[in-house]
Amino acid sequence: MTGFGEKSFNSKTLSVKIRIKSLNHRFFDWNYKGPQIGEVENKIRTICQQKVHRGKIEVNLELNFLNQSSWDIRLNEGLLEKIFLSLEKASSRMGKTLNFSVENLFKFPQVVEIKRKDFDEKEVAFLERSFKRTVDEVIKQRKREGVEMGKVIREYVQNIRQAVKKIEKLAKKQPLLVRDKLRQRLKELTEDGPLLEERLIEAAAYYAQKYDLAEEITRLKSHLNYVQELFLFQKQEPVGRKLDFIVQELYRETNAISSKSQDIEIIEESLKIKGEVESIRQQAQNIE
């Protein structure tokens, strides 16, 4: 599911701009871009994962430090002294004075080290609150999209229900097919001599079970009811992975109906169901 949020926040010591983009993905995929914030990144990642269970999450953070005491500056005086001594010797040999500006200090590796102090508790709490508010904006958009996706999936479910009704009606002709198959089998069996009662019972049971679609139709209806329950708006829980599972079950029952039936019309309706189930599957891969 997709969503976007961008917000700016200020505290006494920090100014932060947070952009979060959510893209379709079957799993939770975290991608952070911004300054090194150490353990704080793990904290905001956890916050995001508690609210977003599926999706490619791209986080961009721009951070400004408003308090000069937030920085540590370390000057390697020993190294700097050696550099000056070397410059003096070079100046003496060349007979000319070599100028050295403060700006050049930063061009020498390991002479000056500028380091941001660790975030204090208040700053960490500020960043967490800011991130939560930005994530909530993304969640709102994802929920709106989820509502629309739910409407589309319910249309697919309704189409499947219509196909199942047709299959139920057509399945009533199955006993006639069983009778014809049984007659043919009995004819084959009696060609070798008198027919034993056990063989008659065995043949009747085999064909009755082979072409009976009642169980598959019942399970198919049950799965469709479950899909519909998943999209009740009062439920505030992820449904994507549950939908992934139930789609597999819909495929399984539809394949069973198609393979057991010898009626071309039932097979055609089964193919329609598979098409609608595939549409649901594509949506399920992205839905939260």
Those residues whose C-beta lies under 8 Å from the C-beta of residue 72, and which sit 6 or more positions away, are 114, 115, 116, 117
pLDDT of residue 40: 92
Could you give the CA distance from residue 273 to residue 221 in angstroms, rounded to a whole number? 12
Could you give the CA distance from residue 81 to residue 68 in angstroms, rounded to a whole number? 27
Greatest Cα pair distance, the chain, in angstroms, is 128
Q: What is the three-class DSSP state of 14?
A: strand
pLDDT of residue 202: 58
67 torsion bin: left (phi>0), alpha (psi -120 to 50), beta (else): beta
Could you give the CA distance from residue 121 to residue 40 in angstroms, rounded to a whole number? 11
Take residue 117 and report the two structure tokens written for it: 């102090």
Q: Give the β-pairing of 55-65 and 28-33.
A: parallel
Q: How many CB atoms lie within 10 A of CB 15?
A: 13
pLDDT of residue 211: 62
Give the mean pLDDT per block of 10 residues along the chain (288 residues).
88 90 86 90 93 88 77 68 76 72 67 69 92 92 82 90 90 65 62 55 56 83 87 64 87 88 85 91 75
pLDDT of residue 44: 94
Q: What is the pTM of this model?
A: 0.60
Take residue 146 and report the two structure tokens written for it: 């989820």
Could you give the CA distance from residue 223 to residue 255 in angstroms, rounded to a whole number? 14
